[in-house]
Amino acid sequence: MENKPVLETNVVKPSLSIFENETEYRLISLESENNLDSKIKDIENYLYNNHGRGKSEAEKDALYGKSKELWDKYAEVLRDVHFTFYLNRKQYQFLTDLLIDKMEYDVNTVFLAIELTDMLGEWKGTGTAKDDTTIQGYIADATEITYIYHLISKHKVKGLSNSSYRFAEVLKRIGAISKIIAYYDTHAKNFSKEIQNWVATFENGILVDDNDYGASRILATENSTKETKKSKKKEEETTQE
């Protein structure tokens, strides 16, 4: 049996959890992970099992339209997915103080800072860690996580004080989520390119990086199926005679 190739993504799936106090905490829900992964498989399976070579223009358009529909569904799920940003009491307070009192803002960042500070207030309303060792999960989307990093990455620390360690801890939390965002975002970008390459090979003789995206294999399978049907029909006609 032919092994099914996986489309190149150039990324390895990162850890979707963190371990704190000997407990595993998911950064993305199992439901969201399964939903994203299933959408990836849908696109891979469609591109692997379909091709437009030898088809009419209408059929080619329909194939492209279906692939675009699958990509759009994946992009929609990715856009709406939420992550859990875990902080203990000191980390939460550090991030709040940093945004409110220690950062400098200009016309391009001040309104963003206000939005994020309001979000931290909403987080606090959902509950905070009871002490300095337990952690509390706060819900944020990819844009909010990116904005937090964009603002606090400009912060500078002097020496290795407690504040420096808090800063590193918060950055590490952001980094864990950012790896997940990058992993799924890379799939979206790569699939967009792969679909265009796949469509280009609909024309006879066209290869992209010496790849016909399965056209030869699919055509051979289709021809074999047709021959099998013809042979079976001929046998049936002979039997009836």
Question: What span, in angstroms and rounded, lies between the C-alpha atoms of 45 and 7?
Answer: 10
> Token pair of 212, please?
């016909």
CB atoms within 10 A of CB 142: 20
- In a domain? residue 152: yes
Domain that holds residue 154: 1-11+82-192
Q: Compute the C-alpha angle 66/67/73, nearest 5°.
A: 90
Question: What span, in angstroms and rounded, lies between the C-alpha atoms of 9 and 3?
Answer: 18
pLDDT tier for residue 234 given thresholds of 50, 70 and 90: low
- In a domain? residue 69: no
- In a domain? residue 228: no
- In a domain? residue 71: no
Q: What's the pLDDT at 199?
A: 92
Q: Which helix (H) or strand (E) holds 168?
A: helix 162-200
Q: What's the pLDDT at 22?
A: 87
β-pair type (82-88, 23-26): unpaired
- In a domain? residue 59: no
- In a domain? residue 19: no
Predicted confidence (pLDDT) at residue 78 exceeds the cutoff of 70: yes
Helices (H), 81-137: 89-97, 110-125
pLDDT tens digits, 10-44: 568 999 999 988 899 999 999 999 999 999 999 99
Residue 159 φ then ψ, to 5°? 75, -170
Helices (H), 50-161: 57-80, 89-97, 110-125, 142-152
pLDDT tier for residue 5 given thresholds of 50, 70 and 90: very low
Q: Which of 6-10, 46-50, 133-137, 138-142 has the highest mean predicted lDDT (pLDDT)?
A: 138-142
Give the residue-averaged pLDDT of 156-172.
91
- In a domain? residue 221: no
> How many domains does one find in the chain?
1
